[in-house]
Structure 1
Amino acid sequence: MTSRDIGHWWRRIESWLRRREQLRTLAPPATAADLAAVERRCGVKLPRDLAELLRHHNGSGSFTLPPVFAILSTTELIAHWEIKVEIWSDHPCSPFRASFLPFAADGAGGVLHLDTAPGGDGRVQAHDREGGSLGVTDHPRWDSLPSLMHHTAETLESGHALDGYLPPGEESDFLIWEDDLWDDDTEDE
């Protein structure tokens, strides 16, 4: 997949949100100045896929990537990066490096990030507030940012579970994914 796929997947996600009358939750595109601010403050070159993601929407509002990750704006990205670097920079076996750029957050100190260091494989990684991996599995959705967007769009459209999570229900104003372990068959048990 290439970064051009990000726009394709964003349009499909936007279409799903439009049908739910939730498109307004997405932020407008990031500007060139927004993207330059990330590179300047974090001291790294933005990966092409991440720049493309932000060029479409500089944050996701109440829409989340599965299961609970809101896409960060460039301002939020910088803030999360600064906090992670400050907390983990003195840790002798730091699970977070300055080359990690967070792009989504779970609201509890966990982030999804890409490694911008030379040799970084483009795989989506996760870091929780304690340094753990947040359950990133071997599912192909984690292979890259375009793969994550692809699997998210496909799952929204199909309504089927993605790695154990169902898309937000039609009746929900909160666009949070649901754990498929709690479907109707298990409510009475």
Structure 2
Amino acid sequence: MTVDESWEKVERWLARYAPEDELPEPAGRDDLARLSEQAGIRLPPDIEQSLLRHNGSGLVTVVPPGFVLYGVDEIARSYTEWHVLKSDEPVYVPIGSLGPLEMTVDTRTGHIGSYDPVQGYVRDDDPLGASFSALLAFVADALDSSPPWIAMLPGGEEWEATHEDADFPGTLSWTDEAGEPADWDMNSLNRRFGFTDDGNSS
């Protein structure tokens, strides 16, 4: 799945369920050139393509459990701080955040990781960390499925997308709280999947 195809799925979900969310307009190629010249970094192609679709995610928490994606200016600002404070890791570029936790990309390999002030740089060896495009496709497929929209993270963590957050209704939020027990209509399910309810048990 391409980055644009993934964004299309995310955009459809937001338009239908989270009309209060608004993604930023695209960055321009001149913005990417400026980032490269001023900060001295070149982002992997999939992240550049994402920025050319949306210059970050604004306040929209696209990636569970609640990461927002940086735009070009935020990447440059955060990388400048990163380069000064963490100069032993100059190839890691921050591309998003969840509070003090930053999502990073290894510009040599495209691998996604994270940085926090306590643990430092961390990269999990899981398929979602292989690239930004893989991570975005994972989110897109979760939102493109039938509800409930569950994202199963490595390690067995389950995060559910919701547009019914009490504090921010009409926006995309991720929750790890179990939903209400499903009220299954077994007769309807039996008909849907070709089973007959003849009262006999096998």
Tell me which interval the TM-score lies in, with the shorter structure as reference length: 0.7 to 0.9
Q: Aligned-pair distance for 1:38? A: 1.3
| Mapped contact 2:14–2:172 kept (Cα < 8 A) | no
Cα distance, 1:51–1:131 mapped onto 2, change above 3 Å: same
Whether the 8 Å contact between 2:110 and 2:131 is mirrored in structure 1 is yes
Residue 166 of structure 1: how far off its partner (Å): 2.1
Instruction: Say if 2:30 is the partner of 1:33.
Output: yes
Q: Secondary structure at the match of 1:103?
A: strand
Name structure 1 gaps, 5 residues minimum. Answer: none
Distance 2:19 2:79 in 1: 28
Structure with higher helix content? 1
TM-score by length of 1: 0.80
What are the equivalent positions in structure 2 for 1:4-19 lying under 5 Å apart? 5-19=2-16
Tell me the distance in 2 between the aligned counterparts of 1:41 and 1:129: 26
Letter in 1 for 2:142: T
Equivalence for 1:160: 150
Report percent identity of matched pairs: 28
Aligned residue number for residue 135 of structure 2: 148
1:66–1:165 Cα contact (<8 Å) kept: no
Paired with 1:26 and 1:33, the residues of 2 have a C-alpha distance of 20
TM-score, normalising length: structure 2: 0.75
Cα drift, residue 148 of structure 1: 0.2
State how far apart, in whole Å, the 2-side matches of 1:76 and 1:140 are. 26
Paired with 1:98 and 1:40, the residues of 2 have a C-alpha distance of 16
Which structure shows the higher strand fraction? 2
Determine the structure 1 residue equivalent to 2:77.
79
**Equivalent residue number for residue 196 of structure 2:** none
Judging changes above 3 Å, is the alpha-carbon distance between structure 1 residues 130 and 40 closer, same or farther for their aligned structure 2 residues? farther
Distance 2:66 2:150 in 1: 17
1:63 to 1:167, Cα distance in 2 relative to 1, 3 A: farther
Larger radius of gyration: 2
Task: Return the alpha-carbon distance in structure 1 between the equivalents of residues 113 and 43 of structure 2.
Answer: 16
Does 1:101 find its partner at 2:93? yes
Alignment correspondent of 2:115: 127
Count of aligned pairs between the two proteins: 170
The answer to whether the 8 A contact 1:30-1:58 is kept is yes
> How far apart are residue 10 of structure 1 and its match?
0.5
